Chain A
Amino acid sequence: MASKKLFPSPHEIDTIPGTEGWQRMYPYHYTFSTTYPERTEYEEGMFWFYDGLHYPEPVYPFDLIWDEAWYLALSQYNTRIFSVPPAYGIDHRIVNGYAYIAPVAVKDPREVEARAAQFRERAGYYYDNWEPLVAKWEQKLKDTIARLEQLEIPRLPEMEDRSVVTEGVGESKGYRLLKAYDDLINLGILCWQYHFEFLNLAYAAYVSFLDLCQRVFPDVPSQSVTQMISGIDVIMYQPDEELKNLARSAVELALEKVLSSSGSFAEVEAALLKSAAGRKWLAELERARYPWFHISTGTGWYHHDRSWNDNLDVPLASICMYVGKIKLGQSIERPLAEVRKQRDRVTAEYRALIGSAEDRAAFDQLLETARKVFSYVENHLFYVEHWFHSLFWNKVREVGAILKEYGFIGDIEEVWYLRRAEIKEALWDLVCAWATGIKPCGPLVWPKEIAWRKEVMRKFHEWRPPPALGRVPEVIQEPFTMVLWGVTNASFNSWAKLREAQAAGDVREIVGFAASPGMAEGPARVCRSVEEIRHLQDGEILVAPTTSPSWAPAFVKIKACVTDVGGVMCHAAIVCREYGMPAVVGTGGATAIVKTGMTLRVNGSTGEVTIAQ
């Protein structure tokens, strides 16, 4: 391991004054240890990087559930199930509220070899049986989601119903509340077990194709490689298609005036209910909502990423945006045919330039595999991060409502300041007190603790996490690390440069990953959340922390997209390639530097963003 001192040691990060003791907001094994020399030494030798892709903000104690879920799931598939030869799992920590992760390498070459034999057999089985296994997977996901929908979070009655006696139930609502909470958590963890069933292998296939292309064509831009696997239809686009259909229908039914009369769905709905055409349209909307509006307005990783179904103002604004386009005679179609034509041309031209027959054969095999796995990479997001998560957060809110009812918390939205294990303890406190006929202890404990935690979170928000901690290794072999975070020396160097330039207050150029080819120049629009995309004007360049499917309507307005986090396979990159517009992703902090109205020049082929003015 090389030990270039680019980043601070994980044990050198200062606690923000006033947040002392923050560690108790997270599980004990998430803290960098200075207590146990053996663990300190291990942590010193590892390379930790900030998981800004999933956690651009500090993690709320409850929200850590998905981090824990993928900590387990990804790691187990690498280490114990498929036996990825050079990589074990990915270790996790929290520093001042921010998530850090470290890939764990298999160092012993004999071990790598032994694991390779296992991998050949096990991963080989999955690659060979990809389609039927994915079909089975979809069924498992649908079943899991159905179980979640059916899960009842019972309220505690003053007296149990008479039927508990007459039917010999033998269980109380108190027990059932505890069990329902366990079931809820377990369904969440289960869903994430499935989330990673194919993902490691899918990324491995993609990375290998990228690797081959880079060997044969050392100058190949990574977006040319992803362009070769673009144009594949995935269900992740369906929610957006539903919005477009509703927009078309609104124009046909001449409802555009009513739709855009108010930003609030409630008022629009009241107006629509007055006409037959309006009622017809509302019925169409209702059909589209399940499941296609289970779309998070964020990435789905935070509880505050509400779904379209939670807030119909969001899809309504997007529908109005599409209606506006239609009325102006502009196309709202995804230029899929053109994207495919370009994909095929680019693929054929690269292929024709490969000099060796062996390499051409490898190219064909890896391209086919990369295309085969692509739709899973996109579709799992809809099932897990959007559909499942949207329902899940609301079930937790039901639990929060009970805690609020008994004075444990002052507001349902305070439930996120408790760890999932603390909620379980609080429920025990509540249920036992309910059973015993006494006052629970929680109302004495939690409101004060939550007030303190809110202040801690506020301070966490103001802190900027360093991009990485510890020692930079010479080589990274873990497929996720390579694809999702695009961990390269270049990216870290440019991030480090950006931080310096920012300190000096003079940034003219921001560098990220070249994610979708092309050049564009235009005024910037910084949107920190999806609610802000309604301010977008035609021809602007979107600058965002990251994007997700609910940002889709933005892409018909903009000329180019720049994000803080993400690699060449992130949402913004994929969508921009589908729309054929330039994108630079993973800039490390464009939203902090660019101001709305600045003129930007985006080069999606080189990853450079120039602030022209």
Chain B
Amino acid sequence: MTCSGKESGAWGEGPQVPVRTTRGAPANGPWGFTMKRSDALVCWFQECGRNSVQQVGGKNASLGELINAEVPVPPGFAVTTAGWRSFFAAAGIAETAPAVLAKLDANDMDALEQAGRTIRAGIEATAFPTELRDEIHAYYQQLSDRCGSPAVPVAVRSSATAEDLPGASFAGQQDTYLWIEGTDALLTHIARCFASLFTARAIAYRIRMGFDHLRVSLSVGVQKMANAAAAGVMFTLNPSNGDRSSIVINSNFGFGESVVSGEVTPDEFLVNKISLELLRRTVPRKAIYYAFDPERRACVRSELPVERGTAASLLDADILELARMGKRIESHYGCPMDIEWAIDCGAASDRKIFILQARPETVWSNRDTSGVAAGKGKSALEHIMASMLAGKRLS
């Protein structure tokens, strides 16, 4: 597998509306892009938007929203909840599962594990309905063609429709399978994502919440696997003080896992959102990183040699480009955002930034927004007096 940046037409060239639409007439979505009818089994990310959560789950909907805001996102498609329902019907879960799940105690972990294993084994052994299988194959082929590869490596992720799964935020708690190549392997891992609806934890959660096991639904995202020279997170405010004029970028070499998991103290860059200038850079030593191992065809944790670990993981130009992107994403959503990003490892001249996920920031945004102005009065004079009395602290 070559690094993604060297492939043709990788991503970031704006919305790429697919050639083939199998079902129904395209309808214009609320942001002017083409939306699939709600019963499509598979759809491109760019056919989704923030109102598509019921069809494609939160994560896929958010990726569609970003693509349609012209944010560079690795291309891919979603197996919709309609796709799940067709699979669900073919697997006969409605017939077999009730007996297995009957009278389960949410606190009896052994019984939950046993029931989950039984149902998941059934799901993974189920043959995909022909129509769904053909659709997934066709979309995967198109994606591969676009990426200039016979069988493009993809990431396969479940994308929850909010209340169905525990911890069903966008935070990536669900299964993710990386570096999947070929239709057969792809189908196997989509089935594994479906099966993840029946982990012991998910079953227990639904019992406690009183959700019907047979009405759960799930979408699966299939996204071009992107290699990463550096990756991390970006907040379009300063998470340490809530300053909305700041953008804070955390970064390490390789995939973003080392940053997200907190395994390293990442590089931190503070950028002024208005002037897009780098105000502060903090570059601690990073001991490890995650990188793609071509032998094992997997993402592996590796040591960073001292000289590399003490270097900044981003170029100044990357930082500013990221900040510009962050500013655009914030203005699209209209609120401070928490963004996952990566830079692919093409040549330095054509380094490309892409966004993996973006969600509204919640910590500061939910705080009380009463004023901080020193003066409680209504005039400039009252503010001047209050500010003078507060003075300037020197310590």
User: Could you tell me which A residues sit within 8 Å of B by CB distance?
Assistant: 2, 84-87, 112, 116, 119-120, 123-124, 127, 204-205, 207-208, 211-212, 215-221, 224, 346, 349-350, 353, 355-359, 361-363, 365-366, 368-369, 472-477, 479, 482, 487-489, 517-519, 605-606
Cβ–Cβ contact A218 & B241, under 8 A: yes
Cβ–Cβ contact B369 & A356, under 8 A: yes
Closest CB in chain A relative to B241 CB, distance in Å? 4
Q: Is B385 in contact with chain A by the CB < 8 A criterion?
A: yes
B370: chain A residues at CB < 8 Å are: 356, 358
Cβ–Cβ contact B395 & A362, under 8 A: no
Contact of A86 with B372 at beta-carbon distance under 8 Å, contacts A218-B241, A361-B378, A362-B383 already known:
no
| Candidates A112, A127, A475, A476; contact of B381 at CB < 8 Å | A127
A361: chain B residues at CB < 8 Å are: 378
How many Å lie between the Cα of A221 and that of B272 in the bound state?
A: 8
How many Å lie between the Cα of A361 and that of B379 in the bound state?
A: 9
Contact of A211 with B387 at beta-carbon distance under 8 Å, contacts A218-B238, A356-B369, A365-B379 already known:
yes
Q: Is B306 in contact with chain A by the CB < 8 A criterion?
A: no
| Candidates B243, B244, B280, B389; contact of A85 at CB < 8 Å | B389
Cβ–Cβ contact B394 & A474, under 8 A: yes
Q: Is B390 in contact with chain A by the CB < 8 A criterion?
A: yes
- A362-B383, A489-B395 known; 11 new pairs, CB 8 Å cut-off, are A127-B381, A217-B243, A219-B279, A221-B277, A224-B272, A356-B370, A356-B371, A356-B373, A365-B383, A369-B380, A488-B392
Closest CB in chain B relative to A358 CB, distance in Å? 4
Q: How would you classify the secondary structure of chain A's contact residues: helix, strand, loop or mixed?
A: helix
How many Å lie between the Cα of A475 and that of B277 in the bound state?
A: 30
In the complex, what residue of chain B is closest to A363 when comparing beta carbons? B373
Q: Please report which residues of chain B, range 325-379, place their CB below 8 angstroms from some CB of chain A when the two chains form the complex.
A: 369-375, 378-379
Closest CB in chain A relative to B394 CB, distance in Å? 5
B32: chain A residues at CB < 8 Å are: none
* 24 A–B contacts from the bound complex (CB under 8 Å): A2-B395, A85-B388, A116-B385, A123-B381, A205-B380, A207-B392, A208-B383, A208-B387, A212-B387, A215-B374, A219-B241, A353-B244, A353-B273, A358-B370, A358-B373, A362-B375, A365-B383, A474-B393, A474-B394, A475-B393, A476-B391, A477-B392, A487-B392, A605-B278
| Candidates B270, B274, B380; contact of A127 at CB < 8 Å | B380
How many Å lie between the Cα of A606 and that of B275 in the bound state?
A: 12
Contact of A488 with B272 at beta-carbon distance under 8 Å, contacts A205-B384, A355-B244, A605-B278 already known:
no
How many Å lie between the Cα of A346 and that of B245 in the bound state?
A: 11
B387: chain A residues at CB < 8 Å are: 207-208, 211-212
How many Å lie between the Cα of A204 and that of B388 in the bound state?
A: 7
Q: Is B246 in contact with chain A by the CB < 8 A criterion?
A: yes
Closest CB in chain B relative to A331 CB, distance in Å? 23
Number of A-B contacts (CB under 8 A): 149
Closest CB in chain B relative to A242 CB, distance in Å? 33
A215: chain B residues at CB < 8 Å are: 372-374
Closest CB in chain A relative to B49 CB, distance in Å? 24
Cβ–Cβ contact B389 & A477, under 8 A: yes
* Contact pattern, B 67-80, Cβ under 8 Å of A = 1, otherwise 0: 00000000000000
Contact of A349 with B274 at beta-carbon distance under 8 Å, contacts A204-B384, A212-B383, A476-B391 already known:
yes
Cβ–Cβ contact B280 & A606, under 8 A: yes
Interface residue range, chain B:
35 or more
Contact of A366 with B395 at beta-carbon distance under 8 Å, contacts A212-B373, A477-B389 already known:
no
Closest CB in chain A relative to B336 CB, distance in Å? 9
Contact of A473 with B279 at beta-carbon distance under 8 Å, contacts A350-B245, A365-B380 already known:
no
* Contact pattern, B 258-276, Cβ under 8 Å of A = 1, otherwise 0: 0000000000001011110
| Candidates A221, A359, A475; contact of B392 at CB < 8 Å | A475
User: Could you tell me which B residues sit within 8 Å of A by CB distance?
Assistant: 238, 241-246, 270, 272-275, 277-280, 369-375, 378-381, 383-385, 387-395
B392: chain A residues at CB < 8 Å are: 207, 211, 475-477, 482, 487-488
How many Å lie between the Cα of A207 and that of B393 in the bound state?
A: 13
Closest CB in chain A relative to B242 CB, distance in Å? 8
Contact of A216 with B279 at beta-carbon distance under 8 Å, contacts A112-B389, A362-B383, A482-B392 already known:
no
B373: chain A residues at CB < 8 Å are: 212, 215-216, 356, 358-359, 362-363
A356: chain B residues at CB < 8 Å are: 369-373
Closest CB in chain B relative to A26 CB, distance in Å? 29
| Candidates B275, B374, B385; contact of A517 at CB < 8 Å | B275
How many Å lie between the Cα of A212 and that of B372 in the bound state?
A: 8
Contact of A489 with B394 at beta-carbon distance under 8 Å, contacts A217-B245, A219-B243, A477-B389 already known:
yes
Closest CB in chain B relative to A88 CB, distance in Å? 13
A358: chain B residues at CB < 8 Å are: 370-371, 373
Closest CB in chain A relative to B249 CB, distance in Å? 14
A477: chain B residues at CB < 8 Å are: 388-392
How many Å lie between the Cα of A605 and that of B270 in the bound state?
A: 12
Closest CB in chain B relative to A54 CB, distance in Å? 21
B272: chain A residues at CB < 8 Å are: 219-221, 224, 605
Cβ–Cβ contact B245 & A479, under 8 A: no
In the complex, what residue of chain B is closest to A365 when comparing beta carbons? B380
B394: chain A residues at CB < 8 Å are: 472-476, 487-489
How many Å lie between the Cα of A127 and that of B241 in the bound state?
A: 34
Cβ–Cβ contact A479 & B369, under 8 A: no
Cβ–Cβ contact B372 & A605, under 8 A: no
Cβ–Cβ contact B380 & A366, under 8 A: yes
Closest CB in chain B relative to A85 CB, distance in Å? 6
How many Å lie between the Cα of A368 and that of B81 in the bound state?
A: 55
Cβ–Cβ contact A120 & B238, under 8 A: no
How many Å lie between the Cα of A603 and that of B275 in the bound state?
A: 13
The residue in A363, A365, A488, A518 that gathers the most chain B C-beta atoms within 10 A of its C-beta is A365
How many Å lie between the Cα of A216 and that of B374 in the bound state?
A: 10
Cβ–Cβ contact B374 & A124, under 8 A: no
A346: chain B residues at CB < 8 Å are: 274-275
How many Å lie between the Cα of A605 and that of B395 in the bound state?
A: 22
How many Å lie between the Cα of A414 and that of B301 in the bound state?
A: 77
A85: chain B residues at CB < 8 Å are: 385, 388-389
Closest CB in chain B relative to A526 CB, distance in Å? 26
| Candidates B246, B383, B388, B389; contact of A219 at CB < 8 Å | B246
In the complex, what residue of chain A is closest to B246 when comparing beta carbons? A219
How many Å lie between the Cα of A473 and that of B375 in the bound state?
A: 24
How many Å lie between the Cα of A124 and that of B381 in the bound state?
A: 6
How many Å lie between the Cα of A472 and that of B372 in the bound state?
A: 27
Closest CB in chain B relative to A256 CB, distance in Å? 39
Closest CB in chain A relative to B361 CB, distance in Å? 13
| Candidates B372, B374, B388; contact of A479 at CB < 8 Å | B388
In the A-B complex, the 9 residue pairs with the closest CB atoms: A358-B371, A477-B391, A362-B373, A208-B387, A365-B380, A356-B371, A355-B369, A353-B244, A605-B277
Closest CB in chain A relative to B318 CB, distance in Å? 16
In the complex, what residue of chain A is closest to B244 when comparing beta carbons? A353
B385: chain A residues at CB < 8 Å are: 85, 116, 119-120
B275: chain A residues at CB < 8 Å are: 221, 224, 346, 517, 605
Closest CB in chain A relative to B374 CB, distance in Å? 7
In the complex, what residue of chain A is closest to B247 when comparing beta carbons? A219
How many Å lie between the Cα of A127 and that of B383 in the bound state?
A: 13
How many Å lie between the Cα of A473 and that of B241 in the bound state?
A: 26
In the complex, what residue of chain B is closest to A204 when comparing beta carbons? B384
Cβ–Cβ contact A605 & B391, under 8 A: no
